[in-house]
Amino acid sequence: MDNYFLGRQPILDRNQNLVAYELLFRQEQTQEAATVTDDLSASANVIVNAYGRFGIQNVLGRQRGFINADPGLIMSDIISLLPCKHVVLELRVPDHITEDFLQHCNELKQKGYQFALDNIVAIDNRIERLLPIVSIVKVDVLALEIDALEKLVNDLKRWPVLLLALKVENREQEIRCKQLGFQMFQGYYFAKPEVMSVKRADPGKLSLMKLLTLVTDNRDHDQIEKEFKRQPGLSYHLMRMVNSVAGDLPQKINSIKHAITLMGREQLLKWIQLLLYTSNQTEDGLSDRRMQTAVERGKLMELIATVERPHDKNHQERAFLVGILSLLDELLGIEMQQIVNKLGISEDMHQALMKREGRLGQALQLVEIEEKGDNAAVESALAKLGFLSLREFTDIKLLAYDWVNQTGEIAN
């Protein structure tokens, strides 16, 4: 498939105001419901899509996201990638509830995570053990007759939980649920799930395995950054993930190393493991030629910046990032304006990518002209740049191409 998909269904309050979305695993654009054979895999895909591929702000806006969380997900380290302010962990009642599971849920609750119980139709001993940790109970109103629904609601009112009417399909059900005291509503009467899509531009397993080894072996940031530099799609994922998790950053991301530092080694390791888990690409797949061109641009931009400011490492890193980002609109099938808005990059990088302005913009324009093979235009662009001769440019161009060739196959 050429796209990744993510479903979301609105959750409303008593006045039909949007208060949250349930995030859903989807494999097709037209899919109203998905057949899930592996709950952990489905939830992992939802997390990777929402945070890395779409960007959580684009998916949720200012709302919370309900994410299905089976015991495997709850007990894993994946949860720590999710800021508690963004999510509600939606529990299906497990067949067996262990003390370890309850303890882990309580620890997550103390850290600020909220839990919801899903598809409840009656209270039994298992549910009574879970009710002290949950904030919301989703009641399947479609499965219950009026008397049974009223009894269940009265029983649930013994706990300090919010009641969400699930599978509301008509006005009559809405009115009945309001009379019973439900505070939130979800169902086809209000809205069917919307399926969002984004074009695939993902790292392959081989690249992820290399990064996993580097991070696990506690290699320094320079080595990790070097591997990211060979993977434009992966660098994009990293920056999207940092923006999604960190929210309003106190400063703009200006390099791959900066993004690695902001995420932290422990979180980076978990994120790479999650990407590897959800990747279904072949290890020996060749990259799109455009991906390789993006890498070439990045390295050539970095070398140009090194000639201009040999002691300004920050400027060189920003130049590299501009180079690899410059083709992402084609790779992802979305407008460059959307990309720069999502990434929270510095102003000079923004101007370079959007208008080819400033020193980075002029350098990018030179690189693009060179790709077209117009020698006269190249000489004109070099004159405009003012610090690089044609011979010097030819030399660093060969250095850039050698560097790219040394990386071997560049996986998506």
Could you state, in order of their start, the residue ranges of all structural domains in the chain? 3-198, 205-406
Please write the tens of the pLDDT for every residue from 212-252.
Answer: 767 766 778 888 888 888 777 788 778 877 877 665 555 66
Residues 184 and 165 sit within 8 Å (Cβ to Cβ): yes
Which class does domain 205-406 fall in?
Answer: mainly alpha
356 Rama sector, left if φ>0, alpha if ψ -120 to 50, beta otherwise:
left
pLDDT of residue 284: 37
- The encoded tokens of residue 41 equal 């895999």
Exposed, middle or buried by CB within 10 Å (0-12, 13-18, 19+), for 176? middle
CA-CA distance, 82 to 59, in Å (whole number)? 14
Give backbone dihedrals phi and psi of 268, rounded to 5 degrees, phi first: -60, -45
Helix axes of 146-156 and 171-180: crossing angle, nearest 10 degrees: 40
3-state class of 273 per DSSP? helix
Please write the tens of the pLDDT for every residue from 273-294.
Answer: 777 666 644 343 334 567 678 8
CA-CA distance, 68 to 72, in Å (whole number)? 11
**Cβ density class 347-357: b for 16+ within 10 Å, e for less:** ebbbbbbeebe
Task: Give residues with Cβ within 8 angstroms of 32, minimum separation 6.
Answer: 192, 193
* Mean pLDDT of the residues in the chain: 84
CA-CA distance, 340 to 243, in Å (whole number)? 12
State the DSSP H helix or E strand holding residue 173, giving kind and residue range, or none if neither.
Answer: helix 171-180
CA-CA distance, 113 to 133, in Å (whole number)? 10
Helix axes of 205-216 and 221-229: crossing angle, nearest 10 degrees: 170
CATH of domain 3-198: 3.20.20.450
Please write the tens of the pLDDT for every residue from 291-325.
Answer: 678 878 988 999 999 999 999 988 888 898 888 88
Greater model confidence, 40 or 352: 352
The model carries a pTM of: 0.63
Exposed, middle or buried by CB within 10 Å (0-12, 13-18, 19+), for 230? buried
CA nearest to 140, candidates 155, 170, 117, 120? 120
30 Rama sector, left if φ>0, alpha if ψ -120 to 50, beta otherwise:
alpha
pLDDT of residue 286: 35
Q: Which residue has the tokens 């201009």?
A: 308
Residue 24 is classified by DSSP as E
State the DSSP H helix or E strand holding residue 139, giving kind and residue range, or none if neither.
Answer: strand 136-140
Task: Give residues with Cβ within 8 angstroms of 59, minimum separation 6.
Answer: 6, 8, 21, 23, 50, 65, 196
Q: Where in 303-368 does DSSP place strands (E)?
A: none
Please write the tens of the pLDDT for every residue from 341-397.
Answer: 766 678 898 999 999 999 999 999 999 999 998 889 999 999 999 999 999 999 999
Residue 222 is classified by DSSP as H
CA-CA distance, 68 to 46, in Å (whole number)? 9
pLDDT of residue 243: 74
Residue 192 is classified by DSSP as P
